Amino acid sequence: MTGEAENDCLFCKIVAGQIPATIVRETETTLAFRDINPQAPTHVLVIPKAHYKNAAELAAGAPQLAADVLAATQAVADDEKLDSYRTVFNTGAGAGQTVWHAHAHVLGGRGLEWPPG
Binding site for ligand 5GP (CB under 6 A): 10, 19, 21, 33-37, 45, 90, 96-99
Nearer to ligand 5GP, 47 or 65 (CB): 47
The full DSSP string for 72-110 is HHHHHHHHTT-SSEEEE---SGGGT--SSS--EEEEESS
Sequence-ordered list of residues with C-beta below 8 angstroms from that of 86, at least 6 positions apart, any chain: 105, 106, 107, 108, 112, 116
CB of 30 to ligand 5GP, least distance (A): 15
Tell me which amino acid residue 13 is.
K
Residue 99 binds: one of Zn ion, ligand 5GP, none (C-beta under 5 to 8 A by kind):
ligand 5GP
Residue 9 binds: one of ligand 5GP, Zn ion, none (C-beta under 5 to 8 A by kind):
Zn ion
Q: Which residues are catalytic?
A: 103
